[in-house]
Amino acid sequence: MSHEFKTGAKDLKAWESLAQKELGQPSLQGIFRETPEGIKLKPLYTADDLKYLNVQDSLPGFAPFTRGPRATMYSHKPWTIRQYAGFSTAEESNRFYRANLKAGQKGLSVAFDLATHRGYDSDHPRVVGDVGKAGVAIDSVEDMKILFDQIPLGEMSVSMTMNGAVIPILAAFVVAAEEQGISQAQLTGTIQNDILKEYMVRNTYIYPPAPSMRIVGDIIEYTARHMPKFNSISISGYHIQEAGANSAIELAFTLADGIEYVKAALAKGLKVDEFAPRLSFFFAIGMNFYMEIAKLRAARQLWHKLMQEFEPKDPRSSMLRTHCQTSGYTLTEQDPYNNIIRTTIEAMAAVFGGTQSLHTNSFDEAVGLPTPFSARLARNTQLIIQDETDICHVVDPFGGSYLMESLTQDLIAKAEAIMSEIEQAGGMVAAIQKGLPKLKIEEAAARKQARIDSGHDVIVGVNKYRAENDAAFDVLDIDNSAVRQSQIQRLNEIKGKRNAQEVQKSLSTLEQGAKNQDNLLALAIECMRARATVGEVSDVLRKIFGEHKAPIQSIQHVYASEFSNTSDFEKIQNEVAKFAELEGRQPRILIAKLGQDGHDRGAKVIATGFADLGFDVDIGPLFQTPEEAVKQAIENDVHAIGISSQAAGHKTLVPQVIELLAKEGANDIAVIVGGIIPHQDYEFLYSKGAAAIFGPGTPVTTAASETLRAIANLRQANANS
C-alpha cells in the first residue's frame, strides 16, 4: 500500500514545502520509517488517509468492536489489575497472593513451575532443576487447596496459565473449589488451554497436536455445560511476540489459532453461541507504542470479521476480549530502573488499546522472579494510571485519529496476508506440523537481535547512553532443592493416606476414556478427587497419546543480513577464521536446553548468529538431561557446550554438566552459560567451572568472541596442568 503524500490539497502542499525547508533537502523520504511489520509510517497523517482506506466509523460496544467491546469501557469500571505470579511452594505463593489482594489487586493469575507444565510430579528425575523455579509447584489437589487457602474461589476470578498438563490442573482446581464449598457453576476465571502456540514458541507441550486439540475441545465442551462463568480458553499472542514475532505475525497467528479452536469446539457438537462468548485472548504489549494500540483495535475488528463464517446469533460470540501483559523481552539487566519507565509506557498502550485486564511486569524480571518491592511498584503503576490520571474517563481516545485509524487498517491488511499463507498451508495445525510458523518467528527474532547488536535499534542503557555503573538490586532467589524436598514429602504423605484402589480404578477409567473419546476433563476430575497426582494423570495420557518431539531446525544468514555494522561483524569472522586455521577446523559448539525450560528464543538466536559468524553449531533437542547433553557433546566432538537458561535452573544443572564432563575425561570442552542469570550467581557458576557467562543484553558478536577466548584459555589451562 502506497503512502505517498497527496499534493493536490493546497494546505498539504504548503506543509510539504515547509517541511522540506526545515529539513534542508528536497525529499521527505528521510523521515519515513518502516516498522518491523513492513508498514511505512508517515510523519504526517490527514483526513485523506481515512478516505483512501475507506475507514468506517463505529462506536464502542457495537460491531465490529474496533473501539472496544463495551460501550462505557473504563469510564464505568477500570480494567482488572491481574498480576501474574507464582513461585516456590503453594504456601509461599498463597501468602504473596493474599498480600497483593489486600493491596488493591482484583484478580489472580497463576504461574506454574515447568515441572507442572510438562506433567511431571516433583519427584521425577527429569525435573531436578525445575521444581519451584519460574512458578509454583503443583502435584495434587492438596497443593491446589493450599494455593487458594483463605481466598474465596466463589468470589475471586482466577486465571491459570496452563496448557500441557491442562487436564489434571483444571481438574485439581475444580476439586479444590468443591472442597471449599464452591460449585463448578460459581467459578469465574480463565484457563489458558492454548496448546497450538506451545508448538510454535513456549514449548510446554506434552502430547502431539491431534490429541492435544482433542483436549482443547473436551475442556471447551465441559466448561460450556458445567462452568458457564468460566473462560475455557485464553488464546495467547503474548508468547508469540516474546519469542520474536512482530505485531502482524503475533496478530495473525493468534487469531488463526483461535479459529482452529472454534472449529474444534464445533466438532464436539456445540453451537457457536454456546462457547464463543467465553473465549478470551492474551496479547503482549511492547515498546512500539502506536503499533500496540492499533494491534488491539485491529484484533477486535478482524476477529469479528472472521467469526461471521460461523453465523453467530449472539453478538458476544464475535466480540474479542483480551488480557494484556507488558513485555518481558524489553526488560534489560543493564540500567534496570529504566524498566519501570518501559513498563509504564507499555501499560498505557494496553489501556489506550482497550484491554480488559492487565499485568505489569516488575523491573527486576530481566534476571529473576519479582521481589515484593518490585511487584508493589509494578502493581502501583496500574493503580496510578487508574486513579491519578484522566485516562479512564474517555472511551477510545485514539478513535478517529488519522494515524491510528490508518495504522489499524494497515495492520489488518498485513495480518490477513499472513493468515492467507496459513490457509494455503492447510490451516494452523498443518502449518505447525510443517514448522512454518516457528521458522517465521525465529527469523523475526534473529533480525531484531541483529538490529540491536549493530546499534540500528536503540535500547537506552544497553547499546546507547550506558550507565557507568549498573544499579545494584535484590533478586529473589528460590532454593530449588528445599522446594523439591518439601514437595516430595507432601507427595509421599498423600500416597500414604489415599485409597490406592480408588486411585487405580479412576486412572484405569481415564485410560479407557482416552481410547473411547470420552470427555477427559470429566474423568480427570474423578482422578483428582481420589488424590491421583498431576504426573499420574499425565502419564496415563502419555501412554495413550504418546509425546510430541519437536523437529530440530535452524535458520541461516538472517542475523548477518540485518547486521548493519559490517566492520564489527567482519572482525569476529576473522577471529573465527584464525581459530579454524590454528585448530584445523571451525569452532564447534553445542547449544543445549536443559531441564523442562522450553523458552528457546535466546538459544535459536545464538545458534543462527554463531553460524553466520563461522561456527559449526549443533542444536540439542529440548528438555535434555545433563547426561544427554554431555553424551551429545562428546559424540559430536565440540569445543564448547552453550547452555541457555531462562528458567533459573542453572545453579542445579550447570554444575552437573561440568561434573559429568570431568567424569568422562572431557575437561577440554568449555561450558558457556547464557540467559536470565543474576550477577549474584556468577561467582557460584565460575567456582563450579563455567568458562564464560553471558547475561541478558549481551550482543551475539561479543558472546562469540568471548567464547573463542574461553575455549583457548581452557586449552591453555589444561596444557599447563
Q: Which residues are catalytic?
A: 84, 238-239, 593, 597, 599
Nearest Cα residue to 84 out of 284, 253, 250: 284
Lookup result for grid cell 495480518: 415
Per the CB < 8 A criterion, the answer to whether 135 and 114 are in contact is: yes
Per the CB < 8 A criterion, the answer to whether 563 and 455 are in contact is: no
Q: Based on the number of CB atoms within 10 Å of its own CB, is 456 exposed (0-12), middle (13-18) or buried (19 or more)?
A: middle
Most distant pair of Cα atoms in the chain: their distance: 86
Q: Based on the number of CB atoms within 10 Å of its own CB, is 511 exposed (0-12), middle (13-18) or buried (19 or more)?
A: middle
Question: Chain-centre distance of CA 177, in angstroms?
Answer: 28
The CA distance from 67 to 58, in Å, is 7
All cell numbers assigned to 620: 540439542
Lookup result for grid cell 543474576: 678
All cell numbers assigned to 486: 518439601
| Structure letter (DSSP) for residue 617 | E
| Structure letter (DSSP) for residue 399 | T
The three-state secondary structure class of 217 is helix
> Are β-strands 640-645 and 670-675 bridged in parallel, bridged antiparallel, or unpaired?
parallel
All cell numbers assigned to 689: 567451572
The CA distance from 90 to 147, in Å, is 5
Per the CB < 8 A criterion, the answer to whether 255 and 299 are in contact is: yes
Give the Cα-Cα-Cα angle 655, 660, 665 (nearest 5 degrees).
130
Per the CB < 8 A criterion, the answer to whether 608 and 602 are in contact is: no
Strands (E), 16-79: 33-34, 40-41
All cell numbers assigned to 650: 542453572
Question: What is the per-residue DSSP string for 263-298?
Answer: HHHHHTT--HHHHGGGEEEEEEE-S-HHHHHHHHHH
**Runs of H (alpha helix) within 227-246:** 238-242
The CA distance from 154 to 176, in Å, is 12
Question: Chain-centre distance of CA 401, in angstroms?
Answer: 31
> Are β-strands 692-694 and 670-675 bridged in parallel, bridged antiparallel, or unpaired?
parallel
The CA distance from 414 to 605, in Å, is 25
CB-facing half-sphere around the CA of 419: CA atoms within 13 A? 22
The CA distance from 490 to 123, in Å, is 10
> Are β-strands 158-160 and 107-110 bridged in parallel, bridged antiparallel, or unpaired?
parallel
| Structure letter (DSSP) for residue 597 | -
Per the CB < 8 A criterion, the answer to whether 604 and 443 are in contact is: no
Per the CB < 8 A criterion, the answer to whether 428 and 421 are in contact is: no
All cell numbers assigned to 143: 497443593
The CA distance from 179 to 680, in Å, is 42
Nearest Cα residue to 55 out of 299, 305, 300, 408: 408
The three-state secondary structure class of 191 is strand
